[in-house]
Amino acid sequence: MTIVREPMWDDAPRSRTQALYRHLLQFLSTLGWTARILVSSVAAFPSVLLRRSGRADFSAQLYIVGIRTLPVITVVSLFIGMILALQVGLELRRFNQEIYLGAAVMLTLLREMGPFACGISLAACVGSAIAAELGTMKVNDEIAALEIMSISPIRYLAAPRLLALLVMAPILAFYCSVIGTLGGGIVGSTQLNVFFQQYISSALSIAETKDLFVGLLKAGVFGMLIGTVSVAEGFGTKLGATGVGRSTQQSVIVNFLLILMFGYMITRVFYR
């Protein structure tokens, strides 16, 4: 598919109705174009894994997504677990039910907060970087140069990034849940008089395989959303350096909103 596109209209709208009509068409066009990027990138996954250069690009993206974000994800998930344990534990203590603290924290992290923390961190750290990098390439005509040389920007630039996010997001979400649970255990044992062993036993006894798989599914969906939106914003960058900043900002905002909406929808489907 062609990345470099001509503007849809050259003249200014003559009325508010025409402006609204153009905004609607532009939104639908952008939505369809983003969907095409997703489908084309998924179709290019086998090519990425079969080519030596593709595997090298994929490995580099795995390092960027998985290793370089670990410090941020560790701090975020640790404090989310500590906050959850403190807030839930204070309420449980009113009813002398502190023994269920581990179960409450573990279920919340596995089902929702682990994937959510992972998605937010990836959108801020990785998604914004993808949008800025591809946006800079777009305004410097590097994307156009790839197309002139008959090199697919989707296969060369988008597919390795989306595949790395798809693979690493569930792993990082599970890591978030583990670190958050340990953080909750620290708060429980130091501030709420809940023995750490009792906390862990409660957490492991209540968690089910379904909770884990739903959380991993959410994380995988979040990874694909972050990659698709960030790549689309980067490829759609215009107006030089100002456009790069706007694309980066848009990618973060849209990713945050989609993470919230899809997180709710997936929970609604699996927990009725």
Q: How far is CA 265 from CA 218, 226, 246, in A?
A: 10, 17, 28
For residues 222-228, give the mean pLDDT: 95
pLDDT tens digits, 38-60: 999 999 999 999 999 889 999 99
**Residue 92: pLDDT band with limits 50, 70, 90:** confident
User: What pLDDT is recorded for position 25?
Assistant: 84
pLDDT tens digits, 234-260: 998 888 888 899 999 999 999 999 999
Helices (H), the chain: 16-43, 45-50, 52-62, 70-94, 101-108, 114-122, 128-139, 142-148, 153, 159-191, 196-206, 209-235, 240-270
pLDDT tens digits, 151-200: 889 999 999 999 999 999 999 999 999 999 999 999 998 988 888 999 99
pLDDT tens digits, 130-157: 999 999 999 998 898 888 888 889 999 9
Cα–Cα distance between 91 and 101 in angstroms, integer? 10
Which residues have a Cβ under 8 Å from the Cβ of 103 and sit 6 or more positions away?
A: 202, 203, 205, 206, 207
